[in-house]
Amino acid sequence: MDKNGFKVKGHFNGLKTTLLFAFLWAIIMLIWWLTGGEIGTLWIYIAIGIGSSFITYWFSDRMAIASMGAKEVSEQQAPELYRIVRELSAKAGKPMPRIYIAPTESPNAFATGRNERHAAVCCTEGILRILNERELRGVLGHELMHVYNHDIRTSAIAAAMATVITYLGYALMWMGGGSRDERNSGPFGAIGAILTMVLAPIGASLIQMAISRTREYDADEDGSTLTGDPEALASALSRIESGVAAAPLQKNQRTETVSAMMIASPFSARDVSRLFSTHPPTSERIARLQQMASEMHGAAGVSGSAADAGLPYSSDDSGMVSPFDEPYRQY
């Protein structure tokens, strides 16, 4: 807890990370066992697991930033961004991350980096054009809490787990499974290899998506606690969803890698199955934030008509709904 009384919850991310590492190695060992259990192949799987986990975790910030073509900006270039991030970082009692802007009109934002001292927050040009300062503050609070809750580490390990298992499945498809010596083959032999090849990548992806959806809810709650303004984030999410529908990010290997880190799915709704979505439905997130606002400020703090419509809203002393400021256009 910092001097302002704000405490980072963490949401048991240390435990989640430990369990993810354990599950990663368990799956790798299971694949090894089902395909013959030869000592020679065991070292190959171990090398793949260690290498993928290390690269994903250690270079997560560089990889994500590069995939979006983002550039680091100075305080002279983006003074309002720096002011908001500095204020919220100080309130949380945490280091201030580096700030980047990505040259795309698709509105979104994400945080990345292996820890608090090697973190970065990135906003797209599109999100800076459609959000006002209050909404942008809500978004940045959300992203900072991903960093301070160590969600980046958790998601990096989840991504490594899914990647390792997927590539092992590919290896089985092209190389086949089982030992050449039938006496040393695993109990399932080729059948085990086929099942592993098909089911393991699907299972790993589903687990990765479930973890991603959970951490979005956590960051919504903690970010709104940090800013003290759940309504701002709710309004921002509504604007972002509409903005993405009008200008979705082009889906390719690079953007798919970073999409799970973003505050909202950057792709067209028709391209994303809910089962495999990395983000919970925007309507559910807004409903939770509205409930949080009611608990924080009282039920009169949010107008039902504005909230239900997903429109920007705020309350003044009279309880009347008034629009937010004009969209942020500093950059």
Report how far residue 70's alpha carbon sits from residue 58's, in angstroms, rounded to the nearest whole number: 19
Nearest to 236 by CA among 125, 145, 115, 139: 139
Report how far residue 211's alpha carbon sits from residue 16's, in angstroms, rounded to the nearest whole number: 9
Neighbours of 2 (CB within 10 A): 12
* Angle (nearest 5°) at CA 104 between 78 and 73: 25
Residue with tokens 């009008």: 246
Report how far residue 109's alpha carbon sits from residue 89's, in angstroms, rounded to the nearest whole number: 17
Which residues on adjacent β-strands are paired with residue 110?
122, 262
* Angle (nearest 5°) at CA 295 between 219 and 131: 50
User: Are β-strands 71-72 and 98-102 bridged in parallel, bridged antiparallel, or unpaired?
Assistant: antiparallel
Report how far residue 267's alpha carbon sits from residue 246's, in angstroms, rounded to the nearest whole number: 10
Nearest 10 degrees: CA dihedral of 129, 131, 134, 135?
-140
Residues comprising the chain, all counted: 331
As annotated, the active-site residues are 143
